[in-house]
């Protein structure tokens, strides 16, 4: 199949970028979207041009590296699909496809489609963990977890930290990511001791990194390749409120 | 997980925010709820017009006697006004701060992107809010102080209302403003419940439905007054 690509090219963080047009004539419907870019890059390399830089790693939807906005949608038009899992059969022969990097002040472009997502790592460092002695694994049944909590924690833990929620949000907010981490750890017994300090530290880091506030429009949950539900943001707000109350009581 | 090993490049300077956005949203939700409570009482009060001029005029006079003699004449009204003024200011200041943070959070726009999910109501919160604020100023000058009212007699509530709505452009502006309030409340009420942490997977759709019904009833109540005046019902 033939595809017309409009790709954001930016040679470095400080350079001014622009959309550049490319034609790929030998794409196959069975290719993944990243393979399409591989084919384009091979062609560019043979011509002596600079290949399009893009992030990728696992190519099976679990690492969250493959960040790009395809025709206006982070990870493209398919529901619950990362870019690496998106196949060209969802496009038509002759289609024009616009490919841009995730746009957020907190995710500055490094080159072409590659953005710096260190802000997410800083948010995790601020509180997205439990403090526990590591070493031998504990007995699986040592701490019982009710089924409903386990299910909700598991659904939230599916977040791969890709940043599509930020890319989709009209406010450039990372609230869905934040809510996913808060819910994941907050539903489990191991997450309780640090529950209050966690939410305060993560919210503070989120804002310091320059992410915007949530207006509950719900764009994030639609874009999320792991279908993290919007109500994790409600959980985040609730936990933050509880933490502030506890803080005032000096707890 | 996003990779951490990369050089920070042009990562923007980190700035500690004294008031986290989550907290500003609580301010919006609490002040929004205060204004919403007022709107409900105001809407119900307005319906007195369907019982005649005497009913609404005496209702207005009665409002001024609330909690007398514990409070002076009109005291309760002034308390309500001060609470509302504080709420409006806090609501607007928070909205402005949040809107500015949102703009800074997306310095470079997409060449190609349509919203896929956000409702019309959600997307018009900011400009809708501005329209509501402007309308509120006009509305107070019209029916509270009487400054721009063609009748403008204190206490003659019925005559003031009918005099105002006898001009088609005022009625039109009022109707558009009230519908804007309806949209604002539709998204705002649901959003506020989410802000208070009251939503979960099981209740989310019910809360959205509740907000919609609430907004429609509120808007219909407010619209019924000019409708009645224009059609000669009252
Ligand atoms: C009739 C009076 C008003 C009522 C009843 C009202 C109610 C509400 C409620 C309940 C919310 C939801 C808060 C949340 O999401 O937590 C809200 C949000 C909002 N209001 Fe109002 N509001 C009113 C007037 C205004 C005015 C005069 C403005 C501005 C000039 C305004 C601007 C906004 C904005 C921008 C939001 C969205 C804020 C955000 O989600 O970040 N509102 N409003
Ligand atoms: S919540 Fe979804 S969209 Fe956001 S970072 Fe996690 S997986 Fe990606
Ligand atoms: S490359 Fe790992 S999720 Fe796409």
User: What are the Cα distances from residue B96, in Å, to B99, B109, B130?
Assistant: 5, 20, 11
Average confidence (pLDDT) over A188-206: 96
Question: Do the beta carbons of residue A75 and residue A90 sit within 8 Å?
Answer: no
Closest to A75 in 3D by CA, of A39, A51, A100: A100
Q: What is the mean pLDDT of residues A125-129?
A: 96
- Cα(B104)–Cα(A212) distance, rounded to whole angstroms? 8
Residue linked to tokens 């009420």: B189
Domain ranges of chain A: 3-111, 118-249
Mean pLDDT of B81-98: 98
DSSP B189: H
CATH 3.10.20.30 fits A3-111, yes or no: yes
Q: What is the residue-averaged pLDDT of chain B?
A: 92
Q: What is the dihedral of CA A164, A169, A172, A175, to 10 degrees?
A: -80
A102 token code pair: 């995730």
Judged by its nearest atom, the ligand closest to the C-alpha of residue A175 is: 2
Contact B205, B212 (CB under 8 A): no
Average pLDDT over residues A51-67: 97
In this predicted model, which residue has the larger pLDDT, A23 or B1?
A23
Query: Can you tell me whether residue A20 is helix, strand or coil?
Result: strand
Q: Is B11's pLDDT higher than 90?
A: no
Residue range A111-124: mean pLDDT, rounded: 98
pLDDT score of B116 = 67
**Chain B touched by A50 (CB under 8 Å):** no
Contact A173 B20 (CB under 8 A): no
Query: Taking residues A223-249, what's their average pLDDT?
Result: 94
Question: At A248, is the pLDDT very low, low, confident or very high (cuts 50, 70, 90)?
Answer: confident
Query: What pTM was estimated for this model as a whole?
Result: 0.92
Which tokens hold the place of A17? 């970028």
Identify the bridge partners of residue A7 per DSSP, sorted by sequence position.
A20, A99
Q: Which residue in B has a C-alpha nearest to residue A204's C-alpha?
A: B20
**pLDDT classification of A81: cutoffs 50, 70, 90:** very high
Q: CA-to-CA distance for B227 and B234, rounded, in angstroms?
A: 9
Contact between A123 and A31 under an 8 Å Cβ cutoff? The reply is: no
Helix or strand run (H / E) with residue A9: strand A3-9
Which of A98, A95, A68 is closest to A84 using CA atoms? A68
Cα B2 to averaged position of ligand 3 atoms, centre (Å): 10
pLDDT at A250 over 80: no
pLDDT at B147: 94
User: In this structure, what are the phi and psi dihedrals at residue B92, rounded to the nearest 5 degrees?
Assistant: -70, -45
Mean pLDDT of chain A: 95
The C-alpha angle A191, A194, A198, rounded to 5 degrees, equals 100
Q: What angle do CA B31, B21, A210 make, to 5 degrees?
A: 155
Residue to mutate (ligand 2; options A225, A232, A233; most atoms within 8 A of CB): A225
- Whether the CB of A44 sits within 6 Å of ligand 3: no
pLDDT of residue B3: 40
pLDDT of residue B117: 67
Q: What separation in Å is there between the alpha carbon of A226 and the centre of ligand 1? A: 31
Residue indicated by tokens 């936990």: A239
The model's pLDDT over B15-31, given as tens digits with 9 standing for 90+, comes to: 877 899 999 999 999 99
Element (H, E) at B175: helix B168-195
Q: Which residue has the higher pLDDT, B1 or B79?
A: B79
Domains of chain B (ranges; CATH) run 23-105+119-230 (1.20.1300.10)
Question: How do residues B22-63 score in pLDDT, each as one tens digit?
Answer: 999 999 999 999 999 999 999 999 999 999 999 999 999 999
CATH class of A118-249: mainly alpha
The whole-number pLDDT of residue A74 equals: 97
Of A8, A32, A34, whose CA–CA distance to A21 is shortest? A8
């Amino acid at each position: 199949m033939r595809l017309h690509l409009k790709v954001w090219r930016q040679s470095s963080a400080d350079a001014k970028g622009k959309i550049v047009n490319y034609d790929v004539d030998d794409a196959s419907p069975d290719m993944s979207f990243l393979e399409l870019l591989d084919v384009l890059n091979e062609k560019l390399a043979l011509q002596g041009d600079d290949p399009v830089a893009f992030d990728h790693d696992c190519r099976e939807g679990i690492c969250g590296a493959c960040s790009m906005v395809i025709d206006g949608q982070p990870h493209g038009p398919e529901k619950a699909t990362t870019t690496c899992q998106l196949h060209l059969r969802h496009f038509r022969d002759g289609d024009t496809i616009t490919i841009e990097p995730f746009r957020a002040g907190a995710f500055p472009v490094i080159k072409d489609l590659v953005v710096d997502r260190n802000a997410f790592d800083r948010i995790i460092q601020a509180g997205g963990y439990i403090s526990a002695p590591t070493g031998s694994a504990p007995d699986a049944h040592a701490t019982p977890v009710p089924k409903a909590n386990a299910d909700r924690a598991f659904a939230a833990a599916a977040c791969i930290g890709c940043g599509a929620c930020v890319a989709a949000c009209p406010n450039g907010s990372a609230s869905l990511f934040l809510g996913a981490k808060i819910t994941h750890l907050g539903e489990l017994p191991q997450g309780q001791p640090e529950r209050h300090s966690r939410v305060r530290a993560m919210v503070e880091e989120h804002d310091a990194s320059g992410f915007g506030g949530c207006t509950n429009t719900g764009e994030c949950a639609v874009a999320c390749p792991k279908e993290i539900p919007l109500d994790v943001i409600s959980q985040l707000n609730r936990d933050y409120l509880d933490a502030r109350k506890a803080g005032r009581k000096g707890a | 997980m996003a990779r951490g090993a990369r050089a920070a490049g042009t990562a923007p300077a980190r700035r500690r925010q004294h008031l986290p956005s989550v907290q500003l949203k609580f301010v919006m939700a609490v002040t929004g709820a205060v204004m919403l409570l007022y709107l409900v009482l105001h809407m119900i009060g307005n319906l007195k017009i369907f019982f005649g001029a005497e009913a609404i005029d005496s209702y207005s006079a009665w409002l001024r006697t609330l909690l007398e003699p514990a409070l002076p004449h009109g005291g309760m009204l002034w308390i309500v006004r001060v609470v509302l003024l504080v709420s409006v200011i806090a609501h607007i200041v928070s909205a402005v701060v949040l809107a500015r943070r949102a703009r800074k959070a997306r310095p470079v726009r997409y060449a190609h992107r349509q919203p896929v999910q956000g409702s019309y109501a959600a997307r018009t919160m900011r400009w809708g809010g501005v329209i509501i604020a402007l309308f509120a100023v006009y509305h107070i000058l019209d029916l509270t102080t009487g400054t721009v009212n063609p009748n403008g007699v204190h206490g003659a509530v019925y005559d003031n209302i009918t005099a105002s709505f006898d001009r088609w452009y005022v009625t039109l502006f009022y109707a558009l403003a009230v519908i804007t309030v309806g949209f604002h409340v539709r998204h705002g009420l649901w959003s506020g419940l989410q802000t208070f942490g009251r939503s979960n997977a099981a209740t989310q759709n019910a809360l959205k439905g509740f907000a919609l019904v609430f907004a429609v009833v509120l808007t219909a109540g407010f619209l019924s007054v000019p409708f009645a005046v224009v059609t000669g019902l009252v």
